Chains A and B, each alone.
Chain A
Amino acid sequence: DGGITQSPKYLFRKEGQNVTLSCEQNLNHDAMYWYRQDPGQGLRLIYYSQIVNDFQKGDIAEGYSVSREKKESFPLTVTSAQKNPTAFYLCASSKRSGGYYNEQFFGPGTRLTVL
């Protein structure tokens, strides 16, 4: 089945440690995105990538880093510089059709708790 995989579902880390969240898609989608969701809040864009080896900062990129070495993969690293890393992280992807991008499809999310 085609879809977006995020692992792990739950992640616990000690304060001051970097942690990498995985996102893989087998939909052959061109663009990939990372969002953060806090309780009672909407999703906020962290980073996005429209093509391999290229990515752009979203609204809240500080304290995060990404890479896009393969079309299928877009890992997110939460660094120790991120002041409030505890949140629900969602990865999404979308397909480019002609000059436009279609709707985004989301993975199941990773809930990160920093102790």
Chain B
Amino acid sequence: AQKVTQAQTEISVVEKEDVTLDCVYETRDTTYYLFWYKQPPSGELVFLIRRNSFDEQNEISGRYSWNFQKSTSSFNFTITASQVVDSAVYFCALSEASYSGGGADGLTFGKGTHLIIQP
């Protein structure tokens, strides 16, 4: 069975600090997809990134970067120079691909990390 663990329940940092959110996953499939979503106080989940298991290149998008390491089954998310608007709950999620493709059968989510950016 697949599983996603986000060990950090809550992180609080001061604005402009860098912060890393950890994600560790378990799966028996060799083909799978990993995701990060942001949930602001309004409640709607906002898609941030999707990574497939064959692509271990790190990705950078503005102040956001993701580090995927299959050797440690981790897919960590770093925010550089954090801002108050980054305050939210962040979820890591996993989908086993099968023949239907990633996401076809729904996502397995971690419990989320509540990130608080203090001004």
Contacts and interface: CB of A to CB of B under 8 A. Distances in A.
A100 B97 contact: yes
Given A42-B112, A103-B35, A48 B101 contact: no
A45 interface: yes
Interface in B87-109: 91, 93, 97, 99-109
Nearest to B114: A40
A100 B102 contact: yes
13 contacts: A31-B103, A31-B104, A35-B106, A40-B9, A43-B91, A45-B108, A90-B44, A99-B99, A100-B100, A101-B103, A104-B103, A106-B44, A108-B42
A108 B43 contact: yes
B101 A109 contact: no
A56 B104 CA distance: 11
A48 B106 contact: yes
Interface residues of B, number: 29
B60 interface: no
A90 B104 contact: no
Scoring A40, A42, A50, A58 by chain B CB atoms within 10 A of each residue's CB, the highest score goes to A42
Interface of B: 4, 6, 9, 35, 37, 42-47, 50, 91, 93, 97, 99-112
Contact of A42 (B104, B106, B110): B110
Chain A interface size, as a band, is: 20 to 34
List of 4 A-B pairs having minimum Cβ-Cβ separation, nearest first = A100-B101, A42-B109, A45-B106, A106-B45
The main secondary structure of chain A at its interface with chain B is: strand
A102 interface: yes
A33 interface: yes
A101 B47 contact: no
Contact of B43 (A58, A88, A101, A105): A88
A56 B105 contact: yes
Nearest to A48: B106
A84 interface: no
